[in-house]
Amino acid sequence: MPVATVPSPNAVGVPTNVVFRITFNDYPDPDTVRSNSILLTTGFFWVPGTYGVDLIGKAAVVRPIRWLSPDLGYSLHLRPALTSLSGCHGPNEEIEFITGPGPADDPAPATPPFTEVQAIFAARCAGGCHLGADDAGGGCLTTPAAGLSLCAAEAGNALVGVPSHQTDQLDLVQPGDSARSYLLRKLLPATSNDGRLPGVYGQREPPGEPLPEDQLRLIAAWIDGGALR
């Protein structure tokens, strides 16, 4: 079920370049976040958009393909076709709002370089299952766990566009789509009884304390920015 929305119900003066965000109490399934589950209309007209998921924030995100008209009423329709990764259906409700006179400032976020992502791997995995003990000097394990080497010399090629060994449904990193990247799902601090998201196998990574949100968001931003390396 949704716990918060942007804009909020009956909001007035919503920026015409609004990005819709529906936050849930569970992880939304990216494959169900589409126009048959979240629909934006004004009067009898459908407003097309692009759809995505912020798994870290448990939120569905919709970006209209163009700015909305100023000073006009809109409705955001939420339908049960939207489900969580655990299979729970979303609500059947509508969120009505009125736009303001124009857009808000919306600076584009910078995409972090892969070196910042690699620094997280080195800090949490150095000398462990996926990195060589001398990784700081460029060494790599010859037989890393699950065949996945995260040492500096190999990590990018080992992750981007590479199918996961644990599921045939997802690549480890799908450039431009962190929600459909198995790596991010493996890192999330899920709240299920076994500590994993549905469809994620083996233990959550890394062992011990989960990565803090700022590091998870940095990894997600790198993936969504194209996973350049």
Q: What is the pLDDT of residues 113-149, one digit of tens each?
A: 999 998 888 887 655 566 654 444 556 656 666 667 6
Structure tokens that stand for 112 in this block: 């972090």
Q: State residue 139's pLDDT score.
A: 61
Q: What is the pLDDT of residues 24-66, one digit of tens each?
A: 998 999 999 999 999 999 999 999 999 999 999 999 999 999 9
Stretch among 52-56, 150-154, 171-175 having the lowest mean pLDDT: 150-154
Q: Which helix (H) or strand (E) holds 197?
A: none
The whole-model pTM stands at: 0.86
Q: Which of 101, 65, 91, 108 is nearest to 9 (CA)?
A: 91
Q: State residue 35's pLDDT score.
A: 94
Structure tokens that stand for 114 in this block: 């892969």
Q: State residue 134's pLDDT score.
A: 47
The residues, ordered by sequence, that sit 6+ positions from 179 with a Cβ below 8 Å of its Cβ are 30, 52, 53, 54, 55
Average pLDDT over residues 171-198: 83
Q: What is the pLDDT of residues 64-104, one digit of tens each?
A: 999 999 999 999 999 999 999 988 898 899 999 999 999 99
The full set of domains in the chain, from first to last, is 2-99 (2.60.40.1220), 114-224 (no CATH)
Structure tokens that stand for 194 in this block: 């076994």
Longest pairwise C-alpha distance within the chain? 63
Average pLDDT over residues 179-203: 79
Alpha carbon distance 221, 226 (integer Å): 9
